[in-house]
Structure 1
C-alpha cells in the first residue's frame, strides 16, 4: 500500500489559519534570535523566551491562541541555511516587519511566503516576496508575485526582476487564481532552499512571548485555532 504523505502544517495546511504567512531569513537561528531579542529589548517590550526541540507541528501550537495585536513569535532553524519566522497574528500571521527588519540588520536575503485558501467571505491569497541586500530601497524588495482576492475579486501584481527559477508561462493563465498556485509557490521556495512542507527540515526553535498589558483603548482579540476555523466557515 502506498504511504499517504502527511498533510502540510503551514501555508494553508492543517493548522490553518495559523501559518498562512511565514517568513524566512537566510541566516542561522542563533544570530537571528539574538538580533530579534536585542530589538525587542531596545523597544522596551517585556518578553519571555523559551527554547524548544519539539517537532514542527507541535511547536507551532505554542503560537495559540491567535491574537490581534499579536503576542507570540517563533523562530526555527530550517534546512542548512534558513531560519523560519512566524507569529500569532489573528489574520494568519504578519511576518513581514520582523523578517525584513532582521534581514536588514544581518545583511541577508529574506522571503515572505503566503498561501491563504479561499475563505467564506471571499478572501484568498498566494504570494512570494523576495528581498535582500541588493533589493530596491527602502524595503529591499528583489521580486514580488501576488495573486490576491478580496470579496472574490481577483487582482494580479508582480514587480522586480524575474528570477531564474520562475515559470512565467504560468502567469498567462486566463484565471488569476491559476497563475500562482500553492504548488508553484512551493516550487519557487524549493529553488531558494526552503522545503516549506517538509516538517523534518525545521529544527531547534526559540519562542518569544510578549508580557504586555494592553491599554483599555487598544482592544485585543484572541481566538483558539478551533474558533478561528469556525469563523472561516
Structure 2
C-alpha cells in the first residue's frame, strides 16, 4: 500500500523544485510555442480545495495524446505534476522544466499491481522508481520493477549520502527499493508528499490546464 494516496494517479507523477505559479508559467511558455502548429491551445483554470478533487478533474485518461495537466503545490518549494495519459504521467515534462528553470526535478513511480477483473490479466505491473534531475540532467536513477513477471533492480549515477546502500544487496529483489524507502529519500530531498493533502486556499493555488483542438482519428478516452 502506498504511504501517500493519489488514487488513480499513484502510478507516476513528477515534482519540480519551484513554486507552482512559476512552474505552470514555464510550462505554458514552452507549450504555446509548440501546440499552435498542431491546431491546439491550452486553457488554464486556477484550482483551490482538495488535491483529490483536482485529480478527478484530470479524467478521463486519454491516448495517444495527453489532454489535461495538473500542477499542485506541495509547499512553497516543490510542485507536483500530473497528466492524464493512459499509460501514466509522462516523464518528459519534469526533466524539461528542470532544464528551463535551472532547478531540480524528480519523477516518481509507485505502481501497484493491477489485474483486470474480467480477463484476470495483469494490466499494470508493480514498480518503485526515483529519477532525479538537476538542470535537466538525470543525476540519479533507482528502480525496482516487475518486468512481466520477473523482478529487476537497477541504479545509475552517484548515490546520495542518505541512501540505504545495504538494502540494494538484499536477497529479495523487490525489497531492494520499496515505497517506504522512496518516501524517505524524498523527505531527505526536502519533499514531504503528505503536505500535498492540505486544503488549498488563497494565496496558494493549483492549476489545471486543458488542451483544446481537433483530436486525431486515433484519439481515445478511457474509463478507469
State TM-score, norm by structure 1. Answer: 0.83
Question: 1:7 deviation in Å?
Answer: 7.3
Report whether the alignment pairs 1:161 with 2:162: no
Unaligned runs of 5+ in 1: 1-5, 134-138, 229-233
Q: Find the aligned partners of 2:149 and 2:220 in 1 and give their Cα distance.
A: 26
Q: 1:97 to 1:201 in 2, by over 3 A?
A: farther
Does 2:208 match 1:207? Answer: yes
Correspondence 1:102-121 to 2 at 5 A:
102-120=97-115, 121=122
Tell me the matched-pair count: 207
Counterparts of 1:20 and 1:34 in 2: how far apart (Å)?
26
Per-residue CA deviation, residues 9-61 of structure 1 (Å, 9 max, x unaligned), is: 32xxxx12x23111111111122111111111101231111001121111111
Runs of 4+ in 1 over 4 A off after TM superposition: none
Q: Distance in 1 between matches of 2:199 and 2:3?
A: 15
**Contact 2:50/2:199 (8 A) holds in 1:** no
SS in 1 for 2:32: helix
Distance verdict in 2 for CA 1:201–1:165, change over 3 Å: farther
Corresponding residue for residue 71 of structure 2: 75
Task: Point out where structure 2 has 5 or more consecutive residues left out of the alignment.
Answer: 116-121
Q: Which moved more, 1:102-111 or 1:117-126?
A: 117-126
CA distance in 2, matches of 1:201, 1:140: 33
The equivalent position to 1:188 in structure 2, one of 185, 199, 217, is 185
- Higher mean Cα deviation, 187-196 or 197-206? 197-206
Residue number in structure 1 paired with 2:175:
178
2: CA distance, partners of 1:119 / 1:111 = 24
State the alpha-carbon separation in 1 of the partners of residues 22 and 220 from structure 2. Answer: 32
Aligned-partner SS, 2:194: coil
Residue 27 of structure 1 is matched in structure 2 by 18
User: What TM-score does the superposition give when structure 2 sets the normalisation length?
Assistant: 0.86
1:222 alignment partner in structure 2: 221
SS in structure 2 at match of 1:197:
helix
5 Å matches for 1:17-166? 18-43=9-34, 44=36, 45-68=40-63, 69-94=65-90, 96-120=91-115, 121=122, 123-133=125-135, 140-166=137-163
